Chain A
Amino acid sequence: MNIRRHIFAVAAAAMLSTGAYAADIKVGVIGPFTGGSASMGVSMRDGVRLAAKEINAAGGIDGNKIVLVERDDEAKNERGVQIAQELINNEKVAATLGYINTGVALASQRFFQEAKIPVINNVATGTLITKQFPNAAENYVFRTSAADNIQAPMIAKEAVEKRGLKKVAILADSTNYGQLGREDLEKALKTYGVTPVTTEKFNLGDVDMTSQLLKAKNAGAEVILTYAIGPELAQIANGMAKLGWKKPLIGSWTLSMASFIDTAGKNGNGATMPETFIQNPPTTPKRKAFVEAYLKDFKPKNGIIASPVSAAQGYDSVYLLAAAIKQAKGTEGPKILAALQDLKTPIDGVVMSYNKPFSAADHEAIKAKDVVMGIVEDGKVEFLNAEDATAKKK
């Protein structure tokens, strides 16, 4: 149903926007628009739509309009694989933006790699993602999100160095995301000489976290470090409240998902996570304009973007791609790749200013210095450190 609707919508949009003189540039957008990761997927898609709309309104890329080909991967690896093949063979996209789920990205992006079509991961954070093809002559996978090997050390630093909590428990879900993140976390803890007192695992959809939390409590954990997504994270926060066991919750950026914040309610207060973008307060004029435009177009509940990080990274990924296509003067994959690896024009993005964000050796736009810590306060994410909110470097 959904898929067909998307196809119709895109086809209709394509017919309407086709100019007599200009060619359309098809760009794939892949993410989970339904299901447990939907708050990230939909926010990313809306960020992408917003940027594409702005670029098209300003005349497109040298007069050529961007046409988005949106597909819902439902956070399922097999759907991702199907969609990748469809976008390459049927839709003949020039490039693809997206992937929210590390597992789906790892399963699907090899098709783009083989077809020499660039992929910009704008949300998925698994460290392996940009390093999946170490032996290939050219790597078509880029990223505009904070990789786990940036986030994990920040989480470890916050717990061990800043708060002095050495007895840590790790709770991670059993997906690729959770388990790869757990490895990064264990590596990061090792640099402080810390071994987790316990490492627990759970499945998506688990409703009772009592055994995991009791094990952590019994092992004397002083802090819970998490690698999971919203609904299960909320079960952890609610389970801790039930046990009357108050310990800090520090984890990957998914602690900022609406499905965590809304479901955990006041039990979610104090959860701390690395963030590339925090909606309030907007620290740069660019951020302010982005938030206003987003709220105006998509009217999210209570004026809070469901996943501000995904929206901002999605938005920036379009501008990076557009700049590369403009510079490449064509939509052939190798040309876009070369342009992305050597972007001449700096781009004033929402997350940060991108000045030569990629090189042939480094496909990560975001570095550790570009990420700040956020904390959940009464239903929204705030800056943990006041200096980040006022003097965020560009």
Chain B
Amino acid sequence: MEMFAQILSSGIAVGMIYAVIAFGFQLTFATSGTLNFGQGEALMLGALVGLTCVDMLGMNYWLMIPIVCLFGMVQGGFVELIGVRPAIKIKSEFGWIMSTIALGIIFKNVAENIWGRDALPFPSPLPMEPMEFLGANILPMEILVVVGALVMMLLVEFFNRKTIYGKAVVATANDRDAAGLMGINTSLVITFSYALSSLTAAFAGVLIAPLTLTGAAMGGALGLKAFAVAIIGGLSSGMGIIVGGLILGIVETATGFYISTGYKDVPGLILLLLVLAFKPSGLFGKTAIKKV
């Protein structure tokens, strides 16, 4: 039982990390039908900028968060302007795929040149002594990851539902052309959704950095896992993202323990294949009809 609680708690912490990044995928997909494949790199940049603030400038962890969020917004807006907007303008189906991947690689290279390719430790704002909960040991930082991720997602939801700007986002997401006719500047909304998605990734970066190591290479694997989560959960469902993240995180940890640590990554990918085969819109996604 204790073992199970431990596996569950570790799986939830890992899963929520995936979920926050996947959440960013969903934000841009809703407004523009495009994804930022450099989402992992946005996370990495956020974490490294955060590390620079905390480590070099001696800033308080909590004070650093708004700066990192701001940086994330600028970075996301940049990606949209440089990489995605031209592709949308010429109605290219796939141009944005290559350009967001390319920008991701460029960001990684830039980060390697600025911060080096070493994995760096990130000072933890909370004590690193574990707390006991139902027989499982949990780090305060892991709880912060889960709580922080949920709070951030709720804030974005609140923004979309309750504020006028949020309603513009939702309107664009529902029907871009109609929203445009109603006087909404839809391309600005799309830029904004990219800014928001990179913000969430950058925030996720500083959230998880004290648990993992920080470095130019940290984004790749996480971005890929998050993409799997987005597909499993469904790109159009916020709920699905959280559930998808938790499923993948728990399945991975449980496989490592009950089957073999050598096969840790396999079940998550099998799950991905199953979802694609039987419910391509994701476990919680709405089925979209696409005319070809």
Interface residues of A (CB under 8 A from B): 1, 34-36, 38-39, 74, 174, 200-203, 205, 207-208, 210-212, 214-215, 218, 230-231, 234-235, 238, 241-244, 259, 262-263, 265
Contacts and interface: CB of A to CB of B under 8 A. Distances in A.
B118 A243 contact: no
Nearest to A245: B137
Contacts of B211: 207
Contact of B256 (A174, A207, A211, A242): A211
A241 B261 contact: no
A345 B4 CA distance: 63
Nearest to B9: A210
Contact of A234 (B10, B213, B264): B213
A202 B14 contact: no
A266 to B, nearest CB: 9
B139 A242 contact: yes
Contact of A34 (B117, B130, B221): B117
A243 B261 CA distance: 17
Contact of A201 (B7, B121, B208, B262): B262
A243 B262 contact: no
8 contacts: A35-B117, A174-B262, A203-B265, A210-B10, A210-B253, A214-B3, A243-B130, A259-B118
Contact of A212 (B217, B221, B256, B265): B256
B112 A201 contact: no
B130 A208 contact: no
B6 A208 contact: no
Contacts of A174: 262
A241 B211 CA distance: 12
A39 B118 contact: yes
Contact of A259 (B7, B14, B119, B212): B119
A214 B119 contact: no
A211 B14 CA distance: 12
Contact of A200 (B14, B139, B213, B261): B261
Given A39-B118, A210-B253, A262-B121, A244 B261 contact: no
B221 A205 contact: yes
Contacts, number: 85
Nearest to A263: B121
B139 A215 contact: no
A214 B7 contact: yes
B137 A231 contact: no
A211 B264 contact: yes
A74 B130 CA distance: 36
Given A202-B261, A218-B3, A241 B128 contact: yes
Contacts of A205: 217-218, 221
Interface string B125-146: 0001010100001010000000
Interface residues on B, range: 20 to 34
Contacts of A263: 119, 121, 213
B159 interface: no
Interface of B: 3, 6-7, 10, 13-14, 112-113, 116-119, 121, 128, 130, 132, 137, 139, 208, 211-213, 217-218, 221, 253-257, 261-262, 264-265
A202 B257 CA distance: 12
A238 B124 CA distance: 13
Contacts of B6: 210, 214, 243
Contacts of B7: 210-211, 214
B142 to A, nearest CB: 8
A215 B227 CA distance: 29
Nearest to A200: B261
A208 B10 contact: yes
The CB with the most chain A CB atoms within 10 A, among B117, B139, B254, is that of B117
Contacts of B212: 207
A207 B211 CA distance: 8
A265 B3 CA distance: 26
Given A34-B112, A215-B256, 4 more contacts: A174-B262, A207-B208, A208-B10, A243-B6
A214 to B, nearest CB: 5
Contacts of A200: 261
Contact of B14 (A208, A238, A244): A208
A265 to B, nearest CB: 8
Given A210-B6, A214-B6, A215-B261, A231 B253 contact: no
Nearest to A171: B261
A244 B119 contact: no
A207 B218 CA distance: 9
Contacts of B254: 211
Nearest to A207: B212
Contacts of B139: 242
Contacts of B132: 244
Nearest to A198: B261
B253 A211 contact: yes
B20 to A, nearest CB: 14
A235 B119 CA distance: 11
A157 to B, nearest CB: 27
Interchain residue pairs A-B with the least CB separation, the first 6: A211-B256, A210-B10, A207-B212, A34-B117, A211-B257, A231-B119
Contact of A38 (B10, B113, B118, B261): B118
Contacts of A235: 213
Contacts of B3: 214, 218
Nearest to B129: A241
Contacts of A244: 130, 132, 137
Contacts of A241: 128, 130
